[in-house]
């Protein structure tokens, strides 16, 4: 499995003049639909292997001098032929310094502006969780997902800890210019560290989750 699936090199001549907010172009009516894949392990046994679909739709906005706040409804369905069912409400707040997305009741700093390669910030600076440094990587690369080609993307690496002895924590998100989030990947594995299994990569608890865009637009 490749952690960062970049499919082509960037071309400096085609780099847009982007402060960063062009990669999260939210407005009322905008929607994104994703295929979600999830694996869960307990005691080194695969206990869940599921695929479902997620729709996110911006239903309300509040614009003031400092921030733009967006209310996002989430819907899910088990199969493409099923009707959407309401799942949750998230909130996103964006200004000229950062993008904060509240997932459940926890706010995360998803991006900071302006963008540049190698930029690092604490994704948990707006919540009570321990420091979690995100890094901006792979600016303006093309990216292909589900046979869709996106000419200019940025990748935010939230963690890239490849500890195969105790715990793996590998998370990243890919945003496309004038589209928004197109792909995310999260791998969290805790390995058995008893004397009889240390270093054998037996997953005591773990999840692997992918979120891949299949459709987007504006209603």
Task: Give the Cα-Cα-Cα angle 34, 160, 73 (nearest 5 degrees).
Answer: 25
Residue 20 lies in a domain: no
Residue 156 lies in a domain: yes
The pLDDT value recorded for residue 2 is 36
Residue span of the structural domain in which 143 resides: 25-218
What's the CATH number where 33 sits? Answer: 2.40.360
Encode pLDDT of 138-162 as tens digits: 899 999 998 999 999 999 999 999 8
The total of structural domains in the chain comes to 1
**Do the domain assignments include residue 77?**
yes
Question: Which residues of the chain are modeled with pLDDT < 50?
Answer: 1-14, 17
Asked whether residue 205 is domain-assigned, the answer is yes
pLDDT of residue 199: 86
Structural domain includes residue 48: yes
Cα–Cα distances (Å) from 18 to 43, 75, 172, 177, 207, in that order, read 46, 31, 20, 9, 34
- The candidate with the shortest Cα–Cα distance to 94, out of 59, 72, 66, is 66
135 within 8 A of 173, measured Cβ to Cβ:
no
Which residue in 140, 202, 132 sits closest to 171, CA to CA? 132
């Amino acid at each position: 499995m490749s952690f960062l699936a970049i499919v082509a090199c960037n071309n400096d001549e085609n780099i847009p003049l982007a402060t960063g907010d062009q990669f999260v172009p939210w407005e009322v009516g905008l929607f994104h639909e994703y295929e979600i894949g999830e694996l869960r392990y307990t005691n080194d046994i695969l206990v869940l292997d599921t695929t479902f679909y997620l729709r996110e739709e911006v239903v309300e906005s509040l614009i003031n001098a400092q921030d733009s706040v967006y209310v996002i409804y989430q819907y899910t369905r088990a199969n493409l032929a099923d009707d959407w069912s309401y799942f949750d409400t998230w909130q996103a707040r964006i200004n000229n310094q950062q993008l904060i997305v509240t997932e459940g009741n926890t706010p995360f700093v998803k991006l900071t502006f302006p963008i540049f390669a190698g930029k690092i910030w604490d994704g948990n600076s707006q919540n009570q969780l321990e420091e979690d440094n995100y890094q901006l990587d792979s600016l303006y690369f093309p990216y292909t997902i589900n046979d869709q080609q996106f000419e200019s993307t940025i990748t935010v690496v939230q963690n890239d800890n490849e500890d195969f002895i105790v715990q793996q924590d590998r998370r990243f998100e890919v945003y496309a210019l004038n589209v928004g989030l197109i792909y995310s990947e999260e791998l969290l594995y805790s390995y058995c560290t008893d004397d009889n299994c240390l270093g054998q990569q037996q997953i005591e608890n773990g999840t692997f989750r992918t979120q891949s865009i299949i459709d987007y637009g504006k209603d």
